[in-house]
């Protein structure tokens, strides 16, 4: 049986493990096809490749792009994450990643400035240390961790509820690339574009349906199945949409580390009858 975990994070973004330790852990968790998909960077891949080769684990090149999808009917921009798998020629993707990393570093500085004003504590150096000294790799996960470390909130969720979430005091509006451009960059690089965690964008079912149509139109081929801990009704709804729009599926844990107990490495949903794994194309 294939156990494909095709969406995970190392400390090249907001995961806790090094790429090599992550690959070792995936191998130990009986994962048979594995992808490292750090946020807006592929810098961890060489180390992951080396470790996968030494363990004989099937590794697929991956990335998770932060994009925004603007709904034609409402003109509202929604943040959507796209996983890219199996890229071969990196030139188109690298051009997009360079811009994304600039946006990430700039947004992190802007959020830190707000947090420093609100909390009257220096934030930047400590946040940068949490992101392994890479400003282009800072995510709100790191900023939430800083708030926890400072004792200002008790857990990351509270950091999002009080400071980092949309409309909260330290929120900085997103300015990521359009979803279609992210999908295009992955496809032009010879990869497959997968819509990540489709049910975690707080969309109405009408909006979700439109997102799937736009994603397919842009060149997207596969949808990530809802995580194992999501309700059966959510999975049933996604199964219907996947069949209706003839998408391939991907399976993933979105593992970040032991600190996010709800994402366990290698804990992936099973395919329903009639569904085809995107790995068949990789």
Interface with ligand AMP (CB under 6 A) = 14, 39, 66, 139-141, 144, 156-157, 160, 256
CB of 117 to Mn ion, least distance (A): 25
Strand bridging mode 58-70 / 177-178 = parallel
Judged by DSSP in three states, 248 sits in strand
CB of 173 to ligand AMP, least distance (A): 11
168-227: contacts with Mn ion (CB under 5 A): 196
Give the nearer residue to ligand AMP in terms of CB position, either 226 or 277.
226
CB of 54 to ligand AMP, least distance (A): 28
Give the nearer residue to ligand AMP in terms of CB position, either 45 or 196.
196
Q: Which residue has the closest beta carbon to Mn ion?
A: 81
Residue 195 token pair: 């819509």
Using the rule CB under 5 A, is 254 a contact of Mn ion?
Answer: yes
Give the nearer residue to ligand AMP in terms of CB position, either 9 or 27.
9
Using the rule CB under 5 A, is 81 a contact of Mn ion?
Answer: yes
Residue 66 partner contact from ligand AMP, Mn ion, none using kind-dependent CB cut-offs of 5 to 8 Å: ligand AMP
Give the nearer residue to ligand AMP in terms of CB position, either 260 or 271.
260
Using the rule CB under 5 A, is 14 a contact of Mn ion?
Answer: yes
Nearest CA-CA partner of 242 in 223, 215, 218:
223
CB of 151 to ligand AMP, least distance (A): 17
x/- map, 58-77, Mn ion, by CB under 5 A:
------x-------------
Phi-psi region of 132 (alpha: psi -120 to 50; beta: other; left: phi over 0): left
CB environment 112-129: b (16+ within 10 A), e (fewer): bebbeeebeeebbeebbe
Nearest CA-CA partner of 90 in 63, 56, 129, 119:
63
What's the rounded Cα separation, in Å, for the pair 127 and 136?
12
What's the rounded Cα separation, in Å, for the pair 262 and 255?
9
The size of the interface with Mn ion (CB under 5 A), counted in residues, is 6
125-164: contacts with Mn ion (CB under 5 A): 141
Give the nearer residue to Mn ion in terms of CB position, either 93 or 196.
196
CB of 27 to ligand AMP, least distance (A): 23
What's the rounded Cα separation, in Å, for the pair 209 and 70?
14
What's the rounded Cα separation, in Å, for the pair 187 and 20?
27
Give the nearer residue to ligand AMP in terms of CB position, either 54 or 169.
169
CB of 7 to Mn ion, least distance (A): 6
Judged by DSSP in three states, 199 sits in helix
The length of the chain in residues reads 282
CB of 249 to ligand AMP, least distance (A): 21
Residue 241 CA from chain centroid, whole number: 21
Give the nearer residue to ligand AMP in terms of CB position, either 144 or 222.
144
- CA 82 to each of CA 29, 40, 88, 193: distance values in angstroms, whole numbers, following the listed order: 25, 10, 17, 7
Give residues in contact with Mn ion (CB under 5 A). Answer: 14, 64, 81, 141, 196, 254
């Amino acid at each position: 049986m294939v156990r494909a975990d095709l969406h995970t994070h190392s400390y090249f973004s907001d995961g806790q493990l090094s790429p090599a330790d992550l690959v070792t852990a995936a191998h130990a968790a009986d994962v048979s096809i594995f992808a490292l998909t750090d946020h807006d960077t592929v810098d961890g891949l060489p180390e992951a490749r080396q470790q996968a080769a030494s363990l004989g684990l099937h590794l697929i090149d991956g990335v998770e792009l932060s994009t925004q999808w603007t709904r034609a009917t409402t003109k509202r921009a929604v943040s959507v994450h796209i996983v890219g798998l199996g890229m071969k020629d990196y030139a188109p993707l690298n051009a997009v990643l360079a811009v994304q990393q600039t946006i990430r570093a700039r947004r992190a500085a802007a959020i830190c400035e707000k947090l420093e004003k609100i909390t009257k504590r220096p934030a930047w150096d400590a946040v940068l240390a949490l992101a392994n000294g890479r400003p282009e790799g800072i995510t709100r996960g790191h900023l939430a961790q800083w708030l926890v470390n400072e004792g200002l909130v008790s857990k990351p969720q509270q950091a999002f509820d009080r400071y980092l979430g949309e409309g909260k005091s330290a929120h900085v509006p997103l300015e990521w690339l359009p979803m279609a451009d992210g999908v295009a960059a992955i496809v032009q690089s010879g990869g497959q574009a997968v819509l990540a965690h489709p049910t975690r964008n707080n969309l109405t079912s009408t909006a979700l349906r439109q997102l799937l149509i736009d994603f397919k139109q842009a060149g997207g081929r596969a949808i990530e199945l809802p995580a194992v801990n999501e309700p059966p009704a959510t999975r049933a709804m996604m199964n219907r949409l996947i069949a209706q729009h003839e998408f391939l599926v991907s399976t993933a844990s979105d593992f970040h580390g032991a600190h996010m107990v709800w994402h366990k490495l290698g804990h992936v949903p099973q395919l329903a009858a009639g569904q085809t794994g995107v790995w068949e194309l990789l």
